[in-house]
């Protein structure tokens, strides 16, 4: 952190020009999407690149039309179904992030603080599965979630679920929120465990031992002493897990059905149509981009810490 009375070096004007160009290049495209999301398709297509247009929130209204409380007069019917997808995205992301963090920090703690049989195997496997790409998981997960991880409709659990939610055939993981959440947790765990290990190592052992002397059990030590001390690590891990779950497209598209679609699926589906409605899609894209952008603006330090801790061996 820069100290208040640190003197900053003065730089050559050309240096500032370079910096300005870099910022423009990295933020420009996002700003362009932001601006275009307030334009009507006519304005986008006619190519008024400048800022001379009449801003409108019509695109956002169209995107959110199925959860808006009022009728829209520029639409006959809602075709985008953004609202439902938005809610699905929130449910899936929040639940999977919270669970990943809880499960992940417990596992990281066990790996750092205990010597036990199989420890090296577990930590080695965790390291290796970090490189498995979602595209590779797609094939088996698609098969398993659709055909194997099912509850037969004749069994009593299956019957209850069928009676409550309707539908026909067996009850399978595919097409449910839990199915997607399960994959996301598994996908994020290795990374979270790896990052948190490097934070837990730094917790002074004496603190834990002092707590233990005072009669605290292992779980109390973990929840009352260790967890509060690794808050920065937890924040970093939370942001990364959130980002992956919120942004993920491939597995969600293979595992969701009409009712459990997430926002990225909606965007891809609407991009592959012949007539792309640019304004509405950019508004949708903007809504999808806002949470990560907010995180970046308010927690960039945690993100950078997380990135360096994740890359450099912890």
Partner 1 sequence: MSYSTINRLTPYIFLAPALVIMVIALLYPLGYMVFGSFRDWDPSQSIGETSFIGLGNYISLWNDPNFHESLIVTLKFAITVVFVEMIVGVGLALLLDRNLRGMSVLRTMFILPMMIAPVVVGLIWRYMYHPSIGIFNQTLEKIGLGSVDWLGQHALLSVIIADIWQWTPFIFILSLAALQSLPRSALEAARIDGASGWQQIIYIKIPLMMPVLIVTCLLRLIDAFKVLEVILVMTEGGPGLSTEILALRISRTATEFRELGVAAAMSNYLLMLLLILTIIMLAFNKLQEMKAERQRRAVEAEKG
Residues 126-155 that bind partner 1 (CB under 8 A): 126-144, 146-148
183 near partner 1, rule: CB under 8 A: yes
Among the listed ranges 80-88, 199-207, 208-216, 249-257, the one in contact with partner 1 (CB under 8 A) is 249-257
Interface residue with partner 1 among 114, 156, 165, 274 (CB under 8 A) is: 114
Interface residue with partner 1 among 193, 195, 196, 203 (CB under 8 A) is: 193
Query: Two tokens at 258?
Result: 């009409």
Task: Indicate the angle between helix axes 82-113 and 263-271, nearest 10 degrees.
Answer: 130
Among the listed ranges 6-14, 52-60, 69-77, 153-161, the one in contact with partner 1 (CB under 8 A) is 6-14
CB neighbourhood size of 164 (10 A): 8
94 near partner 1, rule: CB under 8 A: no
Q: Which is nearer to partner 1, 69 or 298 (CB)?
A: 298
Least distance between partner 1 and beta carbon 164 (Å): 24
9 near partner 1, rule: CB under 8 A: yes
Least distance between partner 1 and beta carbon 39 (Å): 11
313 near partner 1, rule: CB under 8 A: yes
Which runs of consecutive H residues, i.e. helices, occur in 4-74?
13-36, 41-46, 58-63
42 near partner 1, rule: CB under 8 A: no
Tokens 């990281």 belong to: 108
22 near partner 1, rule: CB under 8 A: yes
Is residue 122 a contact partner of residue 238, using CB atoms and an 8 Å limit?
A: no
Taking CB under 8 A as the criterion, which residues in 209-228 touch partner 1? Answer: 218, 222
Least distance between partner 1 and beta carbon 58 (Å): 18
Distance CA 36, CA 33 (A): 5
- Concatenated DSSP letters for 121-184? HHHHHHHHHTT--HHHHHHHHHHIIIIISEE-TTSHHHHHHHHHH--SS-EESTTSHHHHHHHH
Taking alpha carbons only, the member of 68, 54, 72 closest to residue 279 is: 54
């Amino acid at each position: 952190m820069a100290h208040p009375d640190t003197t900053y070096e003065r730089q050559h004007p050309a240096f500032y020009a370079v910096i300005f160009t870099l910022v423009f290049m990295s933020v420009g495209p996002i700003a362009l999407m932001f601006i275009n999301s307030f334009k009507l398709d006519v304005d986008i297509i006619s190519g008024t690149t400048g800022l001379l247009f009449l801003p409108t929130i019509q695109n956002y209204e169209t995107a959110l039309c199925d959860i808006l409380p009022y009728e829209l007069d520029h639409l006959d019917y809602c075709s985008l179904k953004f609202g439902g997808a938005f809610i699905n995205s929130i449910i899936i992301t929040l639940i999977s992030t919270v669970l990943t963090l809880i499960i992940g920090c417990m596992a990281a703690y066990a790996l750092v603080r205990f010597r036990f049989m199989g420890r090296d195997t577990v930590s080695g496997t965790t390291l290796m599965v970090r490189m498995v790409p979602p595209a590779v998981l797609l094939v088996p997960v698609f098969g398993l979630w659709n055909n194997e991880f099912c509850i037969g409709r004749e069994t009593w659990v299956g019957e209850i679920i069928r009676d409550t939610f309707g539908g026909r055939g067996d009850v399978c993981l595919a097409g449910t929120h839990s199915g997607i959440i399960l994959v996301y947790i598994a996908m994020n765990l290795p990374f979270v465990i790896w990052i948190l290990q490097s934070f837990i190592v730094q917790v002074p052992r004496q603190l834990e031992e002092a707590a233990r002397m005072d009669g605290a059990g292992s779980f109390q030590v973990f929840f009352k002493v260790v967890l509060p001390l690794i808050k920065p690590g937890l924040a970093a891990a939370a942001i990364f897990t959130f980002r992956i779950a919120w942004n993920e497209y491939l597995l969600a598209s293979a595992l969701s059905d009409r009712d459990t679609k997430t926002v990225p699926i909606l965007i891809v589906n609407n991009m592959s149509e012949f007539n792309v409605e640019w304004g509405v899609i950019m508004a949708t894209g903007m809504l999808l981009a806002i949470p990560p952008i907010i995180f970046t603006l308010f927690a960039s330090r945690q993100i950078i810490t997380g990135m360096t801790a994740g890359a450099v061996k912890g």
